[in-house]
A and B are shown apart, each in its own frame.
Chain A
Amino acid sequence: MTMEMPSKSFSVPPAWQEALPLRLEALEVQAGLFHLGPVELHLQAGQVGVLVGPSGSGKTMLLESVAGFHSVAGGEIWLGNQRLSAQPVETRKIGYVFQDFALFPHLSVRENILFSAPYRGGRAVYERLSSVAALLGIESLLERQPSSLSGGEKQRVALARALVTRPRLFLFDEPMSALDAALQRPLRRELRKLLRSIGVTTLYVTHNFAEAQALGDVVGVLRQGRLEQFGTLTELFEYPKTPWVARFVGMENMWEGQVEDRSANGVWVWCKALGTRLFVATEPDAWPNGLPVVMGIRSEELRLVSPQRLPYAENLDDEVDFATDRALFLEKRNLVPVQVAELLREEALWRVSLRVPEASGELIWQTTIRPSADRAFCWLSPQQLRLWTREEK
């Protein structure tokens, strides 16, 4: 049986110009009672930067400020050696794709795409029309009115309208959020391919972290008008700067604690919720005794050890595969007795909720193997435990 897939993926166009770096320097914007910034953000030429954050965090406002919809209260926006913050919207040469696509309802698809012709290269825009339409697979839609298009089609038209202007900077405001979930994943891949190939510096706003992972070279996490952390995905996952960022990027196991003791290569932290003290591998000098802290570990980093096998922990190579951790493991540090409280199958993974019988705490463990026993020991690797200072309220 042969299946013919509709040929809707983007073919790859060549990069059309030299990309420019984007620099936001101590950018501050005030809109009503909401204050954004100061935001410090640097994108290298051709990089895709994704801004994530909960709703109301100011990510769309930040994007709109780069576009020029808000007047800047402080700081500068630079694109290459041009001071964007001193230019009106229409001369910034940006391509903006709106959440609701903002197609002009009184113009046909063709007229929508050609809207910029008088301002962005005249004839050249007309000449680019057919190639861009072919690139996005919308040739057959050109004579239609926007109101007759599906969500996915509208998005392609909005993208085409921005693409024909050959923007120096691409700005996307949650362009996928109005689409069906089933449509989002393939579109993400196509968009990523497209952005990579044209190599235009891009700022992309989303509240969906999976989208950020799929598209971004670098990711900025916004919270209440401030950039909590800005860096590569790896940095964000491995070294979240604050407990809030850690939670936002999906760290499920977090508890409050207090530094009790220090050794040469780490600190001991008393964790009331788990009813035990845990060893965290870290630079001990930064963590004085008695310091209130927040600690956390990603659910996929937990190890479960069945009680029968504990005495023979030397042979547990298959369950504990970090050579550096092994010595610590053999000392039976960081072993928390737990009970399996709940099992949930999620796609290819098991999500296991673990209860600590002697204390109030709960751990979430993600695993590919269904746990065999109800009672076990959970091992929290000192290398994977993260530590932050806790702000006193």
Chain B
Amino acid sequence: MGHFRRFLIALSIPFVVYLLFVILPLLTSILRQTPAHLWEVWRTSGIATALGLSFAAATSAALVAALLCIPGGYLLARYDFPGKNLVEAVADLPLTVPHTVAGIVLLFVFGSEGLIGSAAERVGLSFYSTFWGVLIAMLFVSAPFMLNQAREGFGSVPVRLEQAARTLGAPPAHVFWRISLPLARSGVLSGLLLTWARAVSEVGAVSVIAYYPMTAPVHIYDMFQSSGLRVSGAEAVILLLAVLLFFLLCRWVIARLGQPRTLRVSKRWRGKRCDDGDAL
């Protein structure tokens, strides 16, 4: 026991150091603010609008990423094909590119001279300094998270179950909707969350394509550059609290959605079995 306790303590010490490293800056920045000052900044600095834009764009980006990457995740989890490694490397590329570079690269395609940008401008859609630009930048840097999480989610679904569904008469598309996707949902949902988190925190790519309208992180950076820590510090705390709240909400929703119903039902059943046991 003594050995084991010492081992646990040895594991805990570095972990506590890490936790302090995360918590200390957050805590001090929050404690530095007074509620009155936060309220003042919230009303006057424009962070509220920026935050709204950030959340709207990040949510849209996460949903678009889900549409584009869930099928890909399934394909990568289930099938081997020549060049699969290359495809995976390309799909992960946005993770490895510096984000300012990502923004610049995107401008070549979505800028007014770009292949898609010029075509879009003809129908009155511009990516430069618009909501759509923010969306594109966020999507580019965050979609790989969706892809990888979805792939892992689908990978954890036994092929046996899909085969069983097919022997019961379900065509492949039905198998996907009725078996694979529901069983991969915890992976897919955590992918959505990670994608959203990555998207909402993006500065580099967003500021290259669409510095205006300012998203919250860009707004905070801008404030920091122009007027120092007083306002930007308060804005940072506001962003932190908003994201924290959103994350807690999401985790709660996922916990309800992502858990198989087994947990609830089996508890009820356990009670029942005890009754039966008594009867016998």
| Nearest CB in chain B to that of A94: its residue | B167
User: Is A106 interfacial (CB-CB < 8 Å)?
Assistant: yes
Given A100-B160, A102-B160, A104-B161, answer yes or no on A120-B168 (Cβ-Cβ < 8 Å).
Answer: yes
Instruction: Give the CA-CA distance A92 to B171 in the complex, in Å.
Output: 12
Chain-B contact segment, one of A142-150, A190-198, A275-283, A301-309: A142-150
- For A100, list chain B residues within 8 Å (CB): 160
> Hey, what's the 0/1 contact readout for A101-126 against B, CB within 8 Å counting as 1?
01011101000000110111000000
- For B174, list chain A residues within 8 Å (CB): 118-119
| Nearest CB in chain A to that of B168: its residue | A116
Instruction: Give the CA-CA distance A108 to B262 in the complex, in Å.
Output: 8
| Nearest CB in chain A to that of B158: its residue | A102
- B:234-248 near A, CB below 8 Å: none
Instruction: Give the CA-CA distance A174 to B128 in the complex, in Å.
Output: 62
User: Is B81 interfacial (CB-CB < 8 Å)?
Assistant: no
| Nearest CB in chain A to that of B270: its residue | A148
Question: Are B183 and A89 in contact (CB-based, < 8 A)?
Answer: no
Given A105-B183, A144-B269, answer yes or no on A115-B260 (Cβ-Cβ < 8 Å).
Answer: no
In this complex, which of A90, A91, A94 has the most chain B Cβ atoms within 10 angstroms of its Cβ?
A: A90
The 8 Å CB contact of B163, one of A102, A115, A118, is A102
> Hey, what's the 0/1 contact readout for A234-276 against B, CB within 8 Å counting as 1?
0000000000000000000000000000000000000000000
Question: Are B165 and A145 in contact (CB-based, < 8 A)?
Answer: no
User: How near does chain A come to B278, taking the closest CB pair, in angstroms?
Assistant: 16
Question: Are B165 and A105 in contact (CB-based, < 8 A)?
Answer: no
User: Is B250 interfacial (CB-CB < 8 Å)?
Assistant: no
Given A106-B183, A147-B262, answer yes or no on A96-B164 (Cβ-Cβ < 8 Å).
Answer: yes
User: Is A69 interfacial (CB-CB < 8 Å)?
Assistant: yes
- For A366, list chain B residues within 8 Å (CB): none
The 8 Å CB contact of B170, one of A90, A102, A143, is A90
- For B95, list chain A residues within 8 Å (CB): none
The 8 Å CB contact of A119, one of B170, B179, B260, B265, is B170
Question: Are B265 and A144 in contact (CB-based, < 8 A)?
Answer: yes
Question: Are B164 and A102 in contact (CB-based, < 8 A)?
Answer: yes
Given A105-B183, A120-B169, A165-B168, answer yes or no on A89-B163 (Cβ-Cβ < 8 Å).
Answer: yes
Given A105-B183, A106-B182, answer yes or no on A145-B166 (Cβ-Cβ < 8 Å).
Answer: no
- For A209, list chain B residues within 8 Å (CB): none
Given A98-B160, A102-B163, answer yes or no on A147-B266 (Cβ-Cβ < 8 Å).
Answer: yes
User: Is A67 interfacial (CB-CB < 8 Å)?
Assistant: yes
User: Is A95 interfacial (CB-CB < 8 Å)?
Assistant: yes
User: Is B261 interfacial (CB-CB < 8 Å)?
Assistant: yes
| Nearest CB in chain A to that of B265: its residue | A145
Instruction: Give the CA-CA distance A93 to B158 in the complex, in Å.
Output: 22
Interface size on A, residues (CB 8 A): 34
Instruction: Give the CA-CA distance A69 to B162 in the complex, in Å.
Output: 10
- For B269, list chain A residues within 8 Å (CB): 144-145, 148
Q: How many pairs of residues, A versus B, come closer than 8 Å at their CB atoms?
A: 90
Question: Are B260 and A106 in contact (CB-based, < 8 A)?
Answer: yes
Instruction: Give the CA-CA distance A100 to B163 in the complex, in Å.
Output: 13
- A:149-207 near B, CB below 8 Å: 161-162, 165, 171
Instruction: Give the CA-CA distance A145 to B266 in the complex, in Å.
Output: 7
Question: Are A148 and B170 in contact (CB-based, < 8 A)?
Answer: no
- For A64, list chain B residues within 8 Å (CB): 163
User: How near does chain A come to B257, taking the closest CB pair, in angstroms?
Assistant: 12
User: How near does chain B come to A102, taking the closest CB pair, in angstroms?
Assistant: 4
- A:49-93 near B, CB below 8 Å: 64, 67-69, 88-93
User: How near does chain A come to B230, taking the closest CB pair, in angstroms?
Assistant: 52
- For B168, list chain A residues within 8 Å (CB): 90, 115-116, 119-120, 161-162, 165
Question: Are B260 and A105 in contact (CB-based, < 8 A)?
Answer: yes
Given A102-B158, A104-B179, answer yes or no on A90-B171 (Cβ-Cβ < 8 Å).
Answer: yes
- For A148, list chain B residues within 8 Å (CB): 262, 265-266, 269-270
Instruction: Give the CA-CA distance A280 to B77 in the complex, in Å.
Output: 60
- For A147, list chain B residues within 8 Å (CB): 260, 262, 266
Instruction: Give the CA-CA distance A161 to B161 in the complex, in Å.
Output: 13
- For A92, list chain B residues within 8 Å (CB): 167
Question: Are A106 and B261 in contact (CB-based, < 8 A)?
Answer: yes
Question: Are A143 and B265 in contact (CB-based, < 8 A)?
Answer: yes
Instruction: Give the CA-CA distance A205 to B261 in the complex, in Å.
Output: 33
The 8 Å CB contact of B262, one of A120, A145, A162, is A145
Question: Are B262 and A105 in contact (CB-based, < 8 A)?
Answer: yes
- Please give the residue numbers on chain A whose beta carbons come within 8 Å of chain B beta carbons, in ascending order: 64, 67-69, 88-96, 98, 100, 102, 104-106, 108, 115-116, 118-120, 143-145, 147-148, 161-162, 165, 171
Known: A115-B178, A162-B168. 14 other contacts (CB 8 A): A89-B163, A90-B169, A90-B170, A91-B169, A95-B167, A96-B164, A104-B164, A106-B183, A115-B168, A120-B169, A148-B265, A148-B270, A161-B168, A162-B167
- Please give the residue numbers on chain B whose beta carbons come within 8 Å of chain A beta carbons, in ascending order: 158, 160-161, 163-171, 174, 178-179, 182-183, 260-262, 265-266, 269-270
Give 14 pairs: A residue, B residue, CB < 8 Å, sorted on A. Answer: A67-B167, A69-B163, A90-B169, A92-B167, A96-B163, A102-B160, A104-B179, A106-B183, A106-B260, A108-B261, A115-B170, A115-B178, A120-B168, A148-B262
List 5 A-B pairs, minimum CB-CB distance, nearest first.
Answer: A119-B169, A116-B168, A102-B164, A96-B167, A89-B166
